[in-house]
Amino acid sequence: MKAGDTVHSVLMLDLMEEDKIIFKQKFVNFIKEFDFNELSKILDRNELETEFTGFVNLNRVLESPIKIINIKKDFFFKDLHIFLNKQFNKNNLKNNIYLFFSFVAGGKGPLHNDIEDVHLIGLYGKTLYIVNDKNFILEKGDLLVIPKGVIHRAIGLEPRIVLSFGIYGKDNSIHT
């Protein structure tokens, strides 16, 4: 995130008594477009760990969703990481930034919950998130916050790239 980027107020939806799901369209206005060309540049200039996040058909591996671990090491995300920490991590807890992407529509992650609060920002394409049986469509610049322990699933409606900023509690271990 650079000077001149726009940040909007956040809408909170109470879905469960203790859980706050936050969804805000156009939360971030990116000055520079982030697409698969930028993604390939990040992979080219870094030694980043990657993994498949859903079912992998060995005859069609590029249809599977992929996670890039700890992307905050790349300079492209340095300012955004600082901004997200200031906005959401007031206690300076351990955190991470991952990228999730799918080259084709229909790539989906497993139904799961996380041990950290997850702040998702759409970078490219459209992703359907099913959270506690509610549907949210995340597009470029949109924010979706899913508290730890809340069951959810991501399904790419088209080729997509999503940034995930996770904030861990004091007693959780993470990639650093």
Burial of 109 (0-12, 13-18, 19+ CB in 10 A): buried
What would the pLDDT profile of 50-60 be if each residue is shown by its tens digit?
Answer: 999 878 888 88
By the 10 Å C-beta count (0-12 exposed, 13-18 middle, 19+ buried), 53 is classed as buried
Q: Provide mean pLDDT across the span 67-84.
A: 89
Which residues are CB-contacts of 11 (< 8 A; sequence separation ≥ 6)?
Answer: 22, 23, 24
Give how many domains the chain has, as a whole number. Answer: 1
Inside any domain, residue 163: yes
Inform me whether the pLDDT recorded for 18 exceeds 80: no
Averaged confidence pLDDT in the chain: 85
What is the structure's pLDDT at 20? 87
Q: Residue 170 and residue 145: Cα distance in Å, rounded?
A: 19
Q: Is 96 helix (H, G, I), strand (E, B) or coil?
A: strand
* Domain membership of residue 60 as a residue range: 21-167
Q: For residue range 86-112, list pLDDT tens digits in order.
A: 999 999 999 999 999 999 999 888 999
HSE on the CB side for 174, CA within 13 Å? 21
Where is pLDDT greater, at 159 or 11? 159
**In a domain? residue 15:** no
Tell me, what CATH number does 76's domain have?
2.60.120.650
pLDDT of 161 over the 60 cut:
yes
Distance CA 136, CA 103 (A): 20
Residue 11 lies in a domain: no
List of residues 6+ apart from 123 with CB closer than 8 A:
30, 34, 99, 140, 161, 162, 163
Stated pTM of the model: 0.85
pLDDT of residue 121: 97
Is residue 161 in a domain? yes
